[in-house]
């Protein structure tokens, strides 16, 4: 790992020299005029308070990743983007991608402790409570305009699942992709992808974007798992790592009205023989589909009053096929989940005497169908046939109080009431102080909760799992201090330290009878420090580096959580090489060792990705080439309770090219 970091340092140095050569020198703070201070580049965010504000005024630590950075770094999925975000890390079990932050990923959790939004629409489903992040994410990465990452508890605004953060994915509109465009990608592992889009803009002010994306990959052709060395293939999973995906997106808007529809379906063959299935079986696979229709309305008045609302209908389906070795023959078991829900929300915001901005909102959701079934296909034997429906409603209120030019106070609270579970009340408070025009100090406190999912409560699979209907909410309290400082007009420094405690943790484990189940298993304490430095240039140049030191542990035993790295290091670099936009970009993610469920350690690793992009190669042609895992580093992620493997191997070096043509 040391040698790899040394090689990466050389790349960073060379890239930085190229970037500086094409950039204007930064002004010192003392040399900045009042006008320069006003022009300091400060991003805005919507997801932190449900209205647009500067990140320095938001009651949270926020990171914004824009479309230009996504394109230059050649990120392939939302999971790839989140790997680069300070304090975040991703685990891949060769079926799904799981996001971790502040040292927290639990076995059997399908991203239900991070809330994912698409243009403000809640994506987390009503069966697993989770969000799909990799190629299973229902929006192609080429159609993303920006991603807002809001750290810390968000239940005071969003309710359940917003425990460790909120990720708001903002999609592109026709104004950003006018006319017809086609994107093509080809990469190793026999990977190919195509995205077609068309944007219409009318004189009446209407905007319409329609897009469809197709993806196919054979994945790792020969994956070795020593735990299955006794199998006929001697532990080699051959050609059983395939992925197929199809997505569609429609965005229409006129004035304050917007209509959005999207749908995505992914089929993934699973090479790990999870849940005790037959190893190297070509038919073991999962199929996930998710989509929604959403209509929203926003209107503002000169007196500072703003009204917004939305109505939506969602669908989610999952099917898992596992082949088991029966007494005399192979048996296919199908695990099935179907979810349908609709809902609405209404929000009213008003400025009062220029000192207060009060926001109040109502939200309602009706889970029409929460169906789970598990059965053997032939001969047919049913183990679970559970159909439920539920609903919940919430009320929240928030006040942003401008005490003075240098002091702001945020206060908020939300109450969520469930038809089948206890109500939950979650407050948050923030003190934001600007001791200088370029320095912000935030002192934040928040509480959050996560309601147990119907999957955790009721899922049964023959000889594998058992249900636990007695689960209750898990809760978290978080205290955080954030320091943000701008040096000159483009340098940004940030640091934040946090202390948190999770109570009534819902955790998956193997019971004494050998069956997987979920229980409320006490408390978890977490603490850490996140540091970041960033420099941006007007020509698109970027240097960003972050270091995270963290610890999550059982407060009674002092034992560290599994799959919880003590240290993370992330770096992103983009260096323009020519005036026509040609740029070289590098990003690195490095993690310290992580304990596995077997008590062993997943070794530390550092993975470097290199990309070259030419956005104006020809008048209507963009080109890019990438090498992911540049140094072909061998590394693995910890497995979960359903795996025999303590470690799941990850991909080595993969080379890819892509092009976008505008017609």
- Residue 489 belongs to what domain range? 2-662
Task: Pick the closest to residue 568 from 112, 85, 15, 134 (CA basis).
Answer: 85
Measured CA to CA, the distance from residue 335 to residue 373 in angstroms comes to: 6
- Helix, strand or coil, per DSSP, at residue 484: strand
Task: Please tell me whether residue 487 adopts helix, strand or coil conformation.
Answer: strand
Between strands 647-649 and 165-171, the pairing is: unpaired
Residue 20 contacts by C-beta under 8 Å, 6 or more apart in sequence?
A: none
Q: Which two tokens stand for residue 108?
A: 């059997």
Q: Which of 630, 552, 549, 555 is closest to 592 using CA atoms?
A: 549
pLDDT confidence of residue 34? 40
Answer positive or negative: Cα dihedral of 491, 546, 558, 638.
Answer: positive
Residue of 606, 595, 597, 598 lying closest to 552 (CA atoms)? 595
Residues 547, 529: Cα–Cα separation, whole Å: 8
d(CA 296, CA 304): 20
Relative to beta strand 88-92, strand 97-101 is antiparallel
DSSP three-state, residue 21: helix
Classify residue 380 as exposed, middle or buried by CB count within 10 Å of its CB (0-12, 13-18, 19+).
exposed
pLDDT at 107: 84
CA angle in degrees (0–180, nearest 5) for 213-628-238: 75
Q: How far is CA 417 from CA 363, 392, 425, 426, 475, in A?
A: 10, 6, 9, 12, 15
Q: Are residues 291 and 262 in contact, defined by beta-carbon separation less than 8 angstroms? A: yes
Residue with tokens 């100090």: 441
Dist. CA 575–CA 637, nearest whole Å: 31
Structural domains of the chain, count:
1
Tokens describing residue 388: 């439920």
Alpha carbon distance 427, 397 (integer Å) = 10
Number of other CB atoms surrounding residue 555 within 10 Å: 11
Distance CA 615, CA 622 (A): 4
Measured at the alpha carbon of residue 170, what is the angle toward residues 167 and 171, in degrees to the nearest 5? 140
Model pTM score: 0.92
Please give the pLDDT value at position 601.
Answer: 94
> Any bridge partners for residue 425, and if so which?
415
**The domain that contains 157 carries what CATH number?**
2.40.170.20
Q: Which parts of the chain sit beneath pLDDT 50?
A: 1-38
Closest alpha carbon to 112 in 141, 133, 93: 133
Identify the pLDDT of residue 511.
84
Main-chain dihedrals φ then ψ at residue 578, nearest 5 degrees: -155, 155
Closest by Cα among 113, 5, 43 to 591: 5
What pLDDT was estimated at residue 166?
A: 97
Structure tokens at 624: 């890019």
Q: Nearest Cα to 560, choosing from 595, 527, 528, 508?
A: 595
């Amino acid at each position: 790992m040391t040698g790899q970091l040394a090689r990466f340092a050389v790349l960073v140095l060379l890239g930085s020299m190229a970037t500086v050569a094409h950039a204007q020198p930064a002004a010192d703070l003392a040399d900045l005029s009042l006008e320069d201070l006003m022009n300091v580049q400060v991003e805005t965010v919507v997801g932190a308070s449900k209205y647009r504000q500067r990140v320095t005024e938001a009651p949270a630590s926020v990171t914004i990743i824009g479309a230009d950075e996504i394109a230059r770094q050649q990120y392939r999925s939302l999971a790839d983007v989140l790997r680069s975000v300070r304090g975040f890390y991703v685990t891949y079990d060769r079926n799904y991608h799981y996001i971790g932050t502040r040292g927290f990923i639990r076995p059997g959790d399908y991203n239900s402790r991070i809330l994912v939004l698409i243009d403000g629409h809640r994506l987390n489903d009503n069966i697993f409570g989770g969000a799909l992040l990799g190629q299973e994410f229902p929006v192609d990465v080429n159609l993303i305009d920006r991603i807002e990452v809001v750290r810390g508890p968000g239940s005071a605004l969003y309710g359940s699942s917003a425990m460790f953060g909120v990720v708001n994915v903002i999609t592109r509109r026709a104004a950003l992709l006018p006319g017809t465009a086609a994107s093509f990608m080809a990469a190793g592992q026999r990977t190919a992808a195509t995205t077609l889009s068309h944007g219409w803009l009318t004189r009446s002010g209407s905007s319409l974007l329609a897009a469809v994306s197709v993806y196919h990959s054979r994945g790792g052709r020969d994956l070795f798992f020593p735990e299955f060395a006794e199998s006929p293939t001697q532990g080699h999973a051959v050609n059983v790592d395939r992925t197929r995906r199809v997505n569609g997106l429609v965005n229409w808007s006129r004035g304050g009205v917007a209509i959005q529809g999207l749908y995505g379906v992914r089929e993934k063959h699973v090479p790990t023989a999870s849940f005790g299935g037959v190893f190297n079986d070509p038919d073991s696979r999962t199929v996930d589909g998710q989509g929604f229709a959403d209509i929203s309305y926003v209107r503002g008045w000169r007196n500072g009053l703003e009204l917004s609302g939305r109505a939506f209908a969602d669908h989610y389906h999952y099917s898992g096929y596992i082949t088991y070795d029966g007494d005399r023959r192979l048996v296919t078991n199908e695990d099935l989940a179907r979810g349908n829900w609709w809902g609405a929300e209404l929000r009213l915001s008003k400025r009062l005497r220029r000192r207060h901005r009060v926001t109040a909102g109502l939200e309602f959701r009706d889970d029409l169908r929460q169906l789970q079934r598990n059965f053997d296909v032939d001969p047919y034997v049913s183990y679970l046939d559970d159909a439920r429906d539920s609903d919940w409603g919430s009320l929240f209120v928030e006040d942003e109080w401008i005490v003075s030019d240098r002091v702001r106070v945020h206060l908020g609270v939300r109450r969520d009431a469930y038809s089948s579970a206890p109500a939950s009340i979650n407050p948050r408070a923030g003190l934001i102080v600007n001791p200088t025009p370029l320095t912000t100090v935030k002192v934040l406190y928040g509480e959050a909760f996560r309601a147990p999912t119907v999957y955790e409560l009721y899922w049964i699979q023959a000889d594998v799992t058992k249900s636990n209907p007695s689960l209750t909410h898990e809760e978290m309290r978080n205290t955080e201090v954030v320091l943000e400082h701008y040096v000159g007009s483009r340098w940004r420094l940030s640091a934040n330290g946090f202390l948190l405690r999770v109570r009534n943790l819902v955790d998956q484990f193997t019971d004494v009878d050998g069956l997987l189940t979920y229980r409320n298993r006490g408390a978890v304490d977490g603490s850490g420090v996140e540091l970041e430095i960033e420099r941006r240039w007007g020509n698109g140049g970027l240097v960003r580096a972050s270091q995270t030191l963290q610890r999550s542990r059982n407060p009674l035993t002092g034992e560290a959580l599994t799959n919880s790295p003590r240290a993370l290091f992330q770096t992103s670099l983009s260096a323009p090489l020519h005036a026509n936009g040609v740029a070289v970009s590098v990003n690195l993610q490095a993690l310290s060792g992580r304990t596995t469920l077997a008590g062993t350690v997943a070794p530390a690793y550092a993975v470097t990705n290199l990309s070259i992009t030419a956005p104006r190669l020809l008048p209507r042609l963009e080109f890019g080439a990438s090498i992911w895992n540049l140094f072909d580093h061998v590394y693995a992620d910890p497995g979960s309770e359903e795996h025999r493997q303590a470690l799941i191997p990850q991909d080595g070096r993969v080379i890819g090219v892509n092009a976008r043509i505008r017609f």
